[in-house]
């Protein structure tokens, strides 16, 4: 579970093609979503489980829509060593939940 700072926002990420739910993601700040850190993924369980299971980039699958299989993110390691998905602009929508 990531730390809940004051500058944290929960977003619902969905597929831009078919609108299917992809994940709930806790993000610092309200800026553009360039990457999703694994530690910020709250659901679904399949993706949130990466927090326990993934130790390297090779442990992550591409981030795809569960319904239409559209690719929307690729595994990466951020400069500080954290695992993340590099998000493909235009292939997802994000909606602020809280």
- Interface with Zn ion by CB under 5 A: which residues? 15, 17-18, 20, 65, 67-68, 70
Q: Tell me how far apart the alpha carbons of residues 7 and 42 are, in angstroms, rounded to a whole number.
A: 16
Residue 12 Cβ, how far from Zn ion at the closest point, in Å?
14
Q: Residue 59 or 69: which CB sits closer to Zn ion? A: 69
Residues 31, 36, 39: CA angle, nearest 5 degrees: 115
Q: Are the beta carbons of 15 and 72 closer than 8 angstroms?
A: yes
Residue 93 Cβ, how far from Zn ion at the closest point, in Å?
10
Q: Residue 60 or 70: which CB sits closer to Zn ion? A: 70
Q: Are the beta carbons of 94 and 12 closer than 8 angstroms?
A: yes
Of the CA atoms within 13 Å of residue 3, those in its CB half-sphere come to: 3
Residue 90 Cβ, how far from Zn ion at the closest point, in Å?
13
Q: Residue 8 or 17: which CB sits closer to Zn ion? A: 17
């Amino acid at each position: 579970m990531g730390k809940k700072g004051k500058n944290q926002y929960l977003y619902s990420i969905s597929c831009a093609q078919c609108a299917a739910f992809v994940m709930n993601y806790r993000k610092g700040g309200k800026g553009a979503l360039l990457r999703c850190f694994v530690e910020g993924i709250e659901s679904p369980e399949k993706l949130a489980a990466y927090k326990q299971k993934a130790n390297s980039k090779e442990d992550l699958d591409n981030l795809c829509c569960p319904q239409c299989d559209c690719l929307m993110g690729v595994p990466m390691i951020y400069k500080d060593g954290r695992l993340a998905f590099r998000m493909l602009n235009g292939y997802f929508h994000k909606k602020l939940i809280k």
